[in-house]
Amino acid sequence: MLLAETLRSSTLKLALLAIGLFGSVMFALIGYLYWSTASYVGSRSDRAIAAEQIVLKEAYERAGRDGLTATISQRIADGRLESGVYLLADASFVSIGGNLKFWPAALKDAQGWASITQKSTPEAVALPLLRVAFETLPDGSHLLVGRNIYDLDTFVGAIRTALAGTIGFLIVLAGMAAFLITRRTVGRIEAINTTSRAIMQSGLGQRMPLRGTRDEWDRLAQNLNLMLSRIEELMTEVKQVSDNVAHDLRTPLTRMHARLEKAHDQPRDSARDQALISDTMGDLSTVLGMFSSLLRIAQIEGNSRSDAFCTVNLAEIAGDVVELFDAAAEEVGGRIKMQSQEPVLVTGDRDLLFDAIANVVDNAIKFGGEAGRVTVDVVERDGTPLVSIADHGPGIPFEQRTHVLKRFYRLEHSRHASGNGLGLSLVAAVAKLHDARIEMLDNAPGLVFRLWFPRGTEHQSHS
Amino acid sequence: MAGARRRILVVEDDPVTAEQVADSLANNGYEVDIAADGNVGLRRGRSAEYAVMTIDRMLPGIDGITVIRQLRKEGIITPALILSALGEVDDRVRGLRAGGDDYLVKPFAFVELLARVEALARRSTAVLKETMLQAGDLELDLVSRTAKRSGREIALRPREFEVLWYLVRNQGRVVSRAMLLQHVWDLHFDPTTNIIDVYVGRVRRKVDGQHTYPLIHTVRGVGFCLRAPG
């Protein structure tokens, strides 16, 4: 599996391509190196032979054939010229003197150069390889001067072997390295793939394996894990929301069903039917209301800053909210008041801001206003517009403060109060659309809910 | 005005919705024409005199906003009520900018639709220049912005007066919570809480408190109605 994956891998293909390319370049380079070394060695040897040839010809010119024979014998006897080969033959190629037994049959030209191997003239030499120069002397006899170049040839051969070996070794090494690195890469990717498949099959509980090497693979795996955690979180939230929707919908739907079922089995009675229809419509509008709240929040969350935004006075909006909720506060025996009426301007949507502040005030009255006071304050603090709504109710425990902004999240003590648990989600969505920050503080006792809007100047540059 | 059969153009592509809207309007004394797409809507809108047209935001062919914009360009000022499943600020603003007169988000109660159509129909026929309004023994002085019941002054806050004014102006007709919020507070959304009920409740206590005949009635699930006895 891993082998097949490795062989299919694009990394390996690329690596092999690179090895091929560099191999060819290296081959050309080393070939040139070999060629120049070999020809250098060869030409040096040829020059030495030519020099020897000149020496012998001089001897011939000075002292004739006998002088030449004597010089040849002398040179053969000289230990320093061990590798020298000499042969003097008469016009019919019969040996007259020298250390080569007979004239190689192949050399029939008047003069020239030749390399003699055992193969080309098996009878000629006990020596394995000769390089010779030969010529015909004025008296018709033939002179052959040469050297045993076996050592040179061996040397050049050794260089050739070394170079070829280097190329081969490097290619094999690079190939193996490419294969191993690719296999490692493919192995990591395969591990990630395997986990991905497992996640697709069995859920978001699993995480990418880490090796603790903190290399790029670990970082990739870490980021994927973070992403998975975020997705899992969102999924849980969505699931919770749909569970809650299902639960909160079931209550009115069950009521409606039961009521209609009962009415179905009873004889018609216009007064009772009327009440039944009214009750059912009331329940239906609860259900529809919940849906439109959810849609509204989703739409606000999906919106970007809109061109419907304009400069609005937060103090005036909050004042309207306070005025509207005054009756509601009175009804539960509480009191709501507005601290200041100085205009505080922000860029925004009046409807959404009203709805958001109204939701917070509604909560404050519902949970904190019983025989208590709700104070709404709109000020500009250090240039930052601030709306704060304070009550003296039970407040929200610190660790629950971020949760209450989630859809359908309800605190224990509010579970039986009216409402659908969507109010603060709407507030959060509106705040986000206006770049406003939500802050919840302890009012000891009670809650201070604050909305910090962006500074006026920043806001202007936004639009 | 009463008795005059007024024509309404309903531009709606969903046949079931169109039929229901047409029925509920017909039951309330309107003559209804239905156009199933934007092109027909545009043609009908041009050709006949309608008291009001209701128009779906999204239609096959030409969409509702374009139809209204085209009609307005041609000088046709039939009040238009836009019905839409898109409820957000931008859509509403776009709809109203194009020349729509009111905007109602689906799903809506037919009573709400009827209330809005009636408000638009009335606006198209009558420009009221009254300074006094009356409903039974309730009197509103629009100049001094005071209300009296059986000759006795009722202490009302400015907004409470406006709520009462709107109810009296629409007496005998149902006024929805959203309509109140729209006309008294200039806010365009469906209140999810019962806050409007509480507010109107206080107005009702002030108006109907010690009187035998209540004027302000709650219409369950929809809103309120101010009815003079008799």
Q: Residue A206, class by beta-carbon neighbours within 10 Å (0-12 exposed, 13-18 middle, 19+ buried)?
A: middle
**pLDDT higher than threshold 90 for residue A453:** yes
Fill in the DSSP letter of residue A108. -
Between A and B, how many residue pairs show a Cβ–Cβ distance under 8 A? 75
Which chain A residue is nearest to residue B197, measuring alpha carbons? A328
User: Which has the minimum average pLDDT: A136-140, A430-434, A457-461, B90-94?
Assistant: A457-461
Residues of chain A with Cβ-Cβ distance to B197 below 8 Å are none
Inform me whether the pLDDT recorded for B124 exceeds 70.
no
Question: How far apart (Å, rounded) are the C-alpha atoms in residues B60 and B40?
Answer: 10
pLDDT digits (tens, 9 = 90+) for A37-46: 889 988 988 8
Q: Where in chain B is the domain with CATH 1.10.10.10?
A: 132-226
User: The domain A310-462 is classified under which CATH number: 3.30.565.10, 3.30.1490.20, 3.40.50.170, 3.30.70.1400?
Assistant: 3.30.565.10
- Quick check: bond before A397 cis, omega within 30? no
Just give the CATH number of B6-125. Answer: 3.40.50.2300
CA distance A299 to chain B (A): 7
Residue whose C-alpha is closest to residue A69's, from A96, A94, A101, A44: A96
Q: B88 to chain A: which residues are within 8 Å by CB?
A: 296, 299-300, 303
- The matching CATH number, chosen from 3.30.450, 3.40.91, 3.10.620, 2.60.40, for A2-154 is 3.30.450
Res A388 pLDDT > 90? yes
User: With 50 as the cut, is the pLDDT of residue A301 above it?
Assistant: yes
**Shortest Cα–Cα distance, B182 to chain A (Å):** 10
More confident residue, B20 or A411: B20
pLDDT higher at A346 or A407: A346
Q: What is the CATH number of domain A216-302?
A: 1.10.287.130
Please provide the DSSP assignment of A403-436 as one string: GGGSTT---GGGTTSSS-S-HHHHHHHHHHHTT-
**ipTM of predicted complex:** 0.71
- pLDDT given for residue A371 in this prediction: 63
pLDDT, position B2: 40
Contacts of A433 in chain B (CB under 8 A): none
CB contact under 8 A, A323 and B221: no
| The pLDDT value given to residue A460 | 45
In whole angstroms, what is the distance from residue B150 CA to residue B213 CA?
A: 11
| Annotated domain spans of chain A | 2-154, 216-302, 310-462
> Which residue of B105, B189, B201 is in closest CB contact with A355?
B189
Q: How far does A354 lie from chain B, in Å, by closest CA? A: 8
Q: What is the 3-state secondary structure (H, E, C) of chain B?
A: CCCCCEEEEEECCCHHHHHHHHHHHHHCCEEEEEECCHHHHHHHHHHCCCCEEEEECCCCCCCHHHHHHHHHHCCCCCCEEEEECCCCHHHHHHHHHCCCCEEEECCCCHHHHHHHHHHHHHHHHCCCCCCEEEECCEEEECCCCEEEECCEEECCCHHHHHHHHHHHHCCCCEEEHHHHHHHHHCCCCCCCCCHHHHHHHHHHHHHHCCCCCCCEEEECCCEEEECCCC
Higher pLDDT, B12 or A130: B12
Q: In this model, does residue B3 exceed pLDDT 70? A: no
In Å, how far is B49's CA from the nearest CA of chain A? 33
**Residue A355 forms contact with B (CB below 8 Å):** yes
- What are the angstrom distances between the C-alpha of B42 and each of B36, B60, B78, B137? 11, 12, 12, 46
Contact A320 B185 (CB under 8 A): yes
CATH architecture of B132-226: Orthogonal Bundle (1.10)
Residues of B in contact with A282 (CB under 8 A): 220-221
Cis preceding-peptide flag for A445 (omega within 30 of 0): yes
pTM: 0.61
On the question of pLDDT at A83 being above 70, the answer is yes
Q: Do B109 and A285 touch (CB under 8 A)?
A: yes
Q: What's the mean per-residue pLDDT of chain A? A: 83
A51/A58 Cα distance (integer angstroms): 11
Q: How confident is the model at residue A461 (pLDDT cuts 50, 70, 90)?
A: very low
**Which range is least confidently modeled, A233-247, A404-418, B163-177?**
A404-418
Task: Please indicate whether residue A13 or residue B189 has the higher confidence score (pLDDT).
Answer: A13
* Interface contact B201-A300, CB threshold 8 A: no
Q: Indicate where chain B has its CATH 3.40.50.2300 domain(s).
A: 6-125
| Structure-block tokens of residue B147 | 């209300």
CB contact under 8 A, A351 and B89: yes
A289 touches chain B (CB under 8 A): yes
The conformation of residue A364, written as its DSSP 8-state character, comes to I
CA angle B114, B117, B121 (to 5 degrees): 135
Average pLDDT (B202-208) is 91
